[in-house]
Structure 1
Amino acid sequence: MTPFGHKVRELRRQRGVSQKQMARDLEISAAYLSALEHGHRGQPSWALVQQIITYFDLIWDDAQELEDLARLSHPKVAIDTGGLSPEATKLVNLMARNIHRLSHQEIRALLDYMEKKDSSL
Protein backbone atom coordinates (compact mmCIF):
# COMPACT_ATOMS: atom_id res chain seq x y z
CA MET A 1 0.00 0.00 0.00
CA THR A 2 1.26 3.49 -0.79
CA PRO A 3 1.05 6.46 1.58
CA PHE A 4 -1.52 8.04 -0.76
CA GLY A 5 -3.61 4.86 -0.93
CA HIS A 6 -3.51 4.49 2.83
CA LYS A 7 -4.68 8.08 3.33
CA VAL A 8 -7.52 7.76 0.79
CA ARG A 9 -8.71 4.56 2.46
CA GLU A 10 -8.54 6.26 5.86
CA LEU A 11 -10.57 9.25 4.58
CA ARG A 12 -13.17 6.95 3.03
CA ARG A 13 -13.59 4.95 6.22
CA GLN A 14 -13.78 8.06 8.42
CA ARG A 15 -16.61 9.38 6.27
CA GLY A 16 -18.36 6.05 5.80
CA VAL A 17 -17.95 5.99 2.01
CA SER A 18 -17.54 2.67 0.23
CA GLN A 19 -14.94 2.23 -2.45
CA LYS A 20 -17.66 1.51 -4.98
CA GLN A 21 -19.57 4.70 -4.07
CA MET A 22 -16.47 6.90 -4.20
CA ALA A 23 -15.46 5.45 -7.57
CA ARG A 24 -18.95 6.07 -8.93
CA ASP A 25 -18.97 9.65 -7.59
CA LEU A 26 -15.54 10.38 -9.11
CA GLU A 27 -16.48 8.62 -12.36
CA ILE A 28 -13.57 6.20 -12.19
CA SER A 29 -13.69 2.43 -11.99
CA ALA A 30 -13.84 0.75 -8.61
CA ALA A 31 -11.01 -1.52 -9.79
CA TYR A 32 -8.78 1.50 -10.45
CA LEU A 33 -9.57 3.03 -7.05
CA SER A 34 -8.84 -0.30 -5.39
CA ALA A 35 -5.54 -0.59 -7.27
CA LEU A 36 -4.58 2.95 -6.17
CA GLU A 37 -5.40 2.19 -2.55
CA HIS A 38 -3.42 -1.06 -2.60
CA GLY A 39 -0.39 0.40 -4.38
CA HIS A 40 -0.85 -1.61 -7.56
CA ARG A 41 -1.01 1.53 -9.70
CA GLY A 42 1.48 4.35 -10.02
CA GLN A 43 1.05 7.87 -8.82
CA PRO A 44 -2.41 9.32 -9.40
CA SER A 45 -2.75 12.22 -11.80
CA TRP A 46 -2.80 15.76 -10.47
CA ALA A 47 -6.41 16.07 -11.69
CA LEU A 48 -7.51 12.98 -9.75
CA VAL A 49 -5.79 14.21 -6.59
CA GLN A 50 -7.67 17.50 -6.96
CA GLN A 51 -10.95 15.60 -7.45
CA ILE A 52 -10.32 13.65 -4.25
CA ILE A 53 -9.44 16.83 -2.34
CA THR A 54 -12.74 18.34 -3.47
CA TYR A 55 -14.65 15.11 -2.81
CA PHE A 56 -13.54 15.03 0.81
CA ASP A 57 -13.72 18.83 1.15
CA LEU A 58 -10.09 19.03 2.28
CA ILE A 59 -8.57 22.44 2.88
CA TRP A 60 -5.16 23.92 3.59
CA ASP A 61 -2.84 21.50 5.36
CA ASP A 62 -4.99 18.44 4.69
CA ALA A 63 -5.11 19.18 0.96
CA GLN A 64 -1.35 19.81 0.89
CA GLU A 65 -0.72 16.56 2.76
CA LEU A 66 -2.70 14.56 0.19
CA GLU A 67 -0.80 16.24 -2.68
CA ASP A 68 2.52 15.48 -0.98
CA LEU A 69 1.52 11.86 -0.34
CA ALA A 70 0.56 11.46 -4.00
CA ARG A 71 4.02 12.69 -5.07
CA LEU A 72 5.67 10.18 -2.70
CA SER A 73 3.53 7.20 -3.66
CA HIS A 74 5.06 5.62 -6.71
CA PRO A 75 5.24 1.91 -5.83
CA LYS A 76 8.18 1.16 -8.16
CA VAL A 77 10.98 3.63 -7.64
CA ALA A 78 14.08 3.90 -9.83
CA ILE A 79 17.12 5.63 -8.38
CA ASP A 80 19.88 6.93 -10.64
CA THR A 81 23.17 6.90 -8.76
CA GLY A 82 25.24 7.85 -11.78
CA GLY A 83 27.83 10.39 -10.71
CA LEU A 84 27.42 9.58 -7.01
CA SER A 85 29.85 7.72 -4.80
CA PRO A 86 30.19 3.93 -4.82
CA GLU A 87 28.75 4.00 -1.30
CA ALA A 88 25.57 5.70 -2.55
CA THR A 89 25.10 3.00 -5.19
CA LYS A 90 25.73 0.29 -2.61
CA LEU A 91 23.25 1.90 -0.22
CA VAL A 92 20.35 2.00 -2.68
CA ASN A 93 21.06 -1.53 -3.88
CA LEU A 94 21.11 -2.87 -0.33
CA MET A 95 17.92 -0.96 0.43
CA ALA A 96 16.19 -2.46 -2.62
CA ARG A 97 17.38 -5.95 -1.73
CA ASN A 98 16.51 -5.80 1.97
CA ILE A 99 13.58 -3.43 2.48
CA HIS A 100 11.14 -6.33 2.85
CA ARG A 101 13.21 -7.63 5.78
CA LEU A 102 13.11 -4.40 7.80
CA SER A 103 10.81 -4.13 10.78
CA HIS A 104 8.25 -1.36 11.09
CA GLN A 105 10.50 0.34 13.69
CA GLU A 106 13.55 0.18 11.41
CA ILE A 107 11.59 1.62 8.48
CA ARG A 108 10.16 4.36 10.73
CA ALA A 109 13.67 5.29 11.95
CA LEU A 110 15.03 5.48 8.39
CA LEU A 111 11.99 7.45 7.26
CA ASP A 112 12.34 9.92 10.14
CA TYR A 113 16.00 10.43 9.24
CA MET A 114 15.27 10.98 5.55
CA GLU A 115 12.36 13.33 6.28
CA LYS A 116 14.68 15.46 8.42
CA LYS A 117 17.19 15.58 5.55
CA ASP A 118 14.44 16.47 3.09
CA SER A 119 13.06 19.29 5.21
CA SER A 120 16.52 20.79 5.75
CA LEU A 121 16.99 21.43 1.98
Structure 2
Amino acid sequence: MTPFGKRLRELREQHGISLTELATALHVSPAYLSALEHGKRGRPSAGLIHQVNEHFGLIWDDAEELVRLARLSHPRVVVDTAGLSPMATELANRLARTIRDLPEARVAALLALLESPPD
Protein backbone atom coordinates (compact mmCIF):
# COMPACT_ATOMS: atom_id res chain seq x y z
CA MET A 1 0.00 0.00 0.00
CA THR A 2 1.26 3.48 -0.80
CA PRO A 3 0.97 6.55 1.46
CA PHE A 4 -1.67 7.98 -0.92
CA GLY A 5 -3.55 4.67 -1.02
CA LYS A 6 -3.58 4.43 2.76
CA ARG A 7 -4.94 7.97 3.11
CA LEU A 8 -7.55 7.39 0.39
CA ARG A 9 -8.81 4.30 2.20
CA GLU A 10 -8.90 6.20 5.51
CA LEU A 11 -10.95 8.98 3.90
CA ARG A 12 -13.39 6.48 2.41
CA GLU A 13 -13.81 4.69 5.73
CA GLN A 14 -14.21 7.95 7.70
CA HIS A 15 -16.99 9.03 5.34
CA GLY A 16 -18.59 5.58 5.05
CA ILE A 17 -18.11 5.45 1.28
CA SER A 18 -17.50 2.21 -0.58
CA LEU A 19 -14.83 1.84 -3.21
CA THR A 20 -17.51 1.54 -5.90
CA GLU A 21 -19.31 4.68 -4.72
CA LEU A 22 -16.12 6.72 -4.74
CA ALA A 23 -15.09 5.35 -8.13
CA THR A 24 -18.46 6.36 -9.58
CA ALA A 25 -18.19 9.85 -8.09
CA LEU A 26 -14.66 10.28 -9.49
CA HIS A 27 -15.52 8.74 -12.91
CA VAL A 28 -12.91 6.01 -12.62
CA SER A 29 -13.23 2.26 -12.30
CA PRO A 30 -13.38 0.53 -8.92
CA ALA A 31 -10.47 -1.64 -10.10
CA TYR A 32 -8.34 1.47 -10.65
CA LEU A 33 -9.11 2.85 -7.17
CA SER A 34 -8.42 -0.54 -5.63
CA ALA A 35 -5.08 -0.68 -7.45
CA LEU A 36 -4.22 2.81 -6.16
CA GLU A 37 -5.08 1.83 -2.61
CA HIS A 38 -3.03 -1.36 -2.79
CA GLY A 39 0.04 0.21 -4.43
CA LYS A 40 -0.43 -1.62 -7.72
CA ARG A 41 -0.65 1.63 -9.71
CA GLY A 42 1.71 4.57 -9.87
CA ARG A 43 1.08 8.06 -8.63
CA PRO A 44 -2.39 9.43 -9.31
CA SER A 45 -2.75 12.36 -11.68
CA ALA A 46 -3.06 15.91 -10.39
CA GLY A 47 -6.62 15.90 -11.71
CA LEU A 48 -7.59 12.85 -9.68
CA ILE A 49 -5.99 14.29 -6.55
CA HIS A 50 -8.01 17.48 -7.09
CA GLN A 51 -11.19 15.42 -7.51
CA VAL A 52 -10.51 13.53 -4.28
CA ASN A 53 -9.87 16.80 -2.44
CA GLU A 54 -13.15 18.22 -3.75
CA HIS A 55 -15.15 15.07 -3.08
CA PHE A 56 -14.10 14.94 0.57
CA GLY A 57 -14.06 18.73 1.03
CA LEU A 58 -10.36 18.82 1.87
CA ILE A 59 -8.83 22.28 1.98
CA TRP A 60 -5.58 23.94 2.99
CA ASP A 61 -3.28 21.66 4.94
CA ASP A 62 -5.31 18.50 4.36
CA ALA A 63 -5.39 19.06 0.59
CA GLU A 64 -1.65 19.80 0.50
CA GLU A 65 -0.96 16.69 2.55
CA LEU A 66 -2.81 14.57 0.00
CA VAL A 67 -0.68 16.09 -2.78
CA ARG A 68 2.48 15.38 -0.75
CA LEU A 69 1.43 11.78 -0.15
CA ALA A 70 0.73 11.30 -3.86
CA ARG A 71 4.26 12.50 -4.71
CA LEU A 72 5.64 9.86 -2.35
CA SER A 73 3.48 7.06 -3.68
CA HIS A 74 5.15 5.64 -6.73
CA PRO A 75 5.45 1.93 -5.93
CA ARG A 76 8.43 1.32 -8.23
CA VAL A 77 11.16 3.76 -7.36
CA VAL A 78 14.31 4.34 -9.39
CA VAL A 79 17.29 5.81 -7.57
CA ASP A 80 19.97 7.42 -9.72
CA THR A 81 23.26 7.39 -7.83
CA ALA A 82 25.41 8.46 -10.80
CA GLY A 83 27.91 11.01 -9.57
CA LEU A 84 27.34 10.19 -5.90
CA SER A 85 29.76 8.52 -3.55
CA PRO A 86 30.28 4.75 -3.50
CA MET A 87 28.60 4.69 -0.08
CA ALA A 88 25.47 6.32 -1.52
CA THR A 89 25.35 3.71 -4.28
CA GLU A 90 25.83 0.92 -1.76
CA LEU A 91 23.05 2.34 0.42
CA ALA A 92 20.61 2.50 -2.51
CA ASN A 93 21.42 -1.05 -3.57
CA ARG A 94 21.21 -2.49 -0.08
CA LEU A 95 17.93 -0.76 0.59
CA ALA A 96 16.48 -2.06 -2.69
CA ARG A 97 17.58 -5.57 -1.81
CA THR A 98 16.40 -5.62 1.82
CA ILE A 99 13.43 -3.27 2.10
CA ARG A 100 10.88 -6.10 1.94
CA ASP A 101 12.46 -7.74 4.98
CA LEU A 102 12.75 -4.66 7.19
CA PRO A 103 10.47 -4.56 10.22
CA GLU A 104 8.06 -1.59 10.34
CA ALA A 105 9.92 -0.15 13.34
CA ARG A 106 13.15 -0.05 11.34
CA VAL A 107 11.36 1.58 8.36
CA ALA A 108 9.87 4.17 10.72
CA ALA A 109 13.30 4.87 12.21
CA LEU A 110 14.83 5.33 8.75
CA LEU A 111 12.03 7.68 7.73
CA ALA A 112 12.52 9.70 10.91
CA LEU A 113 16.23 9.92 10.18
CA LEU A 114 15.55 11.16 6.64
CA GLU A 115 13.04 13.74 7.90
CA SER A 116 15.43 15.23 10.45
CA PRO A 117 17.44 18.28 9.40
CA PRO A 118 20.85 17.47 7.87
CA ASP A 119 23.92 17.86 10.05
- Shared fold (TM-score, shorter chain, > 0.5): yes
1:77 aligns with 2:77: yes
Runs of 5+ unmatched residues, structure 1: none
Structure 2 regions of 5+ residues with no counterpart?
A: none
Q: CA RMSD in A?
A: 0.8
Cα distance in 1 between the residues matched to 2:97 and 2:25: 40
Compute the displacement of 1:115 (Å): 1.6
User: Which deviations, in whole Å up to 9, do the C-alpha atoms of 1:3-56 show, x marking residues without a partner?
Assistant: 000000000000000000000011100000000000000000001000000000
Shift of 1:62: 0.5
Q: Percent identity?
A: 55
- Give the CA deviation at 1:116: 1.9
User: Which 4+ residue blocks in structure 1 deviate beyond 3 angstroms?
Assistant: none
Aligned: 1:31 with 2:31: yes
Q: Aligned partners of 2:27, 2:84: CA distance in 1, in Å?
A: 44
Where does residue 102 of structure 1 map in the other structure?
102
**Residue equivalent to 1:60:** 60
One-letter amino acid matched to 1:42: G
Q: TM-score, normalised by structure 2?
A: 0.97
Q: d(CA) in 2 for partners of 1:54 and 1:66? A: 12
Report the number of matched residues: 118
